[in-house]
Amino acid sequence: DAKTTQPPSMDCAEGRAANLPCNHSTISGNEYVYWYRQIHSQGPQYIIHGLKNNETNEMASLIITEDRKSSTLILPHATLRDTAVYYCIVRVDNQGGKLIFGQGTELSVKP
Amino acid sequence: KAGVTQTPRYLIKTRGQQVTLSCSPISGHRSVSWYQQTPGQGLQFLFEYFSETQRNKGNFPGRFSGRQFSNSRSEMNVSTLELGDSALYLCASSANTGSAYEQYFGPGTRLTVT
């Protein structure tokens, strides 16, 4: 079972920041938080991942709370092309390459 | 670098037949994982191969099998196809096995079983 909880859907205005929350209250100390997104019928796209510290790359920022029980993915200036299902995944350390996908958050960016 | 490639992109098969799907990972990546995506069950992990060895396996029947070659390319096979096997089959590659290594997905193979 997925170890994360996400809202099923969110809306965001084009050009504004999109903040996608994720709860992972049972996360263990050596488990990473990953974010992927999937645009309809395409393969999931890797966005960002982190362990304890906040992370930023060219696509997004990942903010992890100090107790690591929740995190937020931030798309700083959402565009229509960011409309997708966003998956927050906690990777269990002893399961190698296995990703357990939940239902994700369907983000709709509106003009 | 070229991304993950999967062939074929689309496939139609009949119940009872078998099918083989192919995945070429990103150059230098040694781990390949396979996933099945259906509207009802979402994205589900099938198995992972690393250095030609199966490292992890999901909860799928033995009709689903795979292998990895010395060049890290991977194939998955489904025997005795059932209607419920209709799905998008995705493979993902990563540089190494383990939770610290991000996976990159291919575009998928859309399998339709009639």
Residue A68, min C-alpha distance to chain B (Å)? 16
Please state, rounded to an integer, the average pLDDT across all residues of chain B.
95
Query: What length does chain A have?
Result: 111
Q: Give the closest of A93, A97, A100 to B48, CB-based.
A: A97
**pLDDT at residue B98, as a whole number:** 81
Cβ neighbour number for residue A108 with a 10 Å cutoff: 14
Query: What length does chain B have?
Result: 114
Asked if B44's CB is within 8 angstroms of A98's CB, the reply is no
pLDDT surpassing 70 at residue A2: no
| b/e map B63-73, b = 16+ CB within 10 Å | ebbbebeeebb
Measured CA to CA, the distance from residue B59 to residue B113 in angstroms comes to 21
pLDDT surpassing 80 at residue B9: yes
Please state, rounded to an integer, the average pLDDT across all residues of chain A.
93
Measured CA to CA, the distance from residue B5 to residue A104 in angstroms comes to 25
**B36 closest CA partner among B81, B94, B95, B71:** B81
Measured CA to CA, the distance from residue B10 to residue B76 in angstroms comes to 15
Asked if A43's CB is within 8 angstroms of B106's CB, the reply is yes
Which chain A residues are closer than 8 Å to B99 by Cβ?
A: 30-32, 91-93, 95-96
Residues A62 and A53 sit within 8 Å (Cβ to Cβ): no
pLDDT surpassing 90 at residue A30: no
**pLDDT at residue A6, as a whole number:** 96
Confidence of residue A96 (pLDDT cuts 50, 70, 90): confident
Q: Across residues B92-98, what is the average pLDDT? A: 89
pLDDT surpassing 90 at residue A43: yes
Residue of B nearest to A92 (CA): B99
Residues B89 and B34 sit within 8 Å (Cβ to Cβ): yes
Confidence of residue B96 (pLDDT cuts 50, 70, 90): confident
**pLDDT at residue B90, as a whole number:** 97
% of chain A surpassing 70 pLDDT: 97
Measured CA to CA, the distance from residue B5 to residue B3 in angstroms comes to 6
Helix, strand or coil for residue B12? strand
Confidence of residue B21 (pLDDT cuts 50, 70, 90): very high
Asked if B105's CB is within 8 angstroms of A97's CB, the reply is no
Confidence of residue A92 (pLDDT cuts 50, 70, 90): confident
Residues B46 and B38 sit within 8 Å (Cβ to Cβ): no
Residue of B nearest to A50 (CA): B100
Asked if B42's CB is within 8 angstroms of A98's CB, the reply is no
% of chain B surpassing 70 pLDDT: 99
Q: Across residues B48-68, what is the average pLDDT? A: 95
Confidence of residue B97 (pLDDT cuts 50, 70, 90): confident
Asked if B56's CB is within 8 angstroms of A95's CB, the reply is yes
**pLDDT at residue A16, as a whole number:** 97
Contacts of B69 by beta carbon, 8 Å cutoff, 6+ apart: B52, B75
Measured CA to CA, the distance from residue A15 to residue A37 in angstroms comes to 19
pLDDT surpassing 90 at residue B2: no
**pLDDT at residue A95, as a whole number:** 74
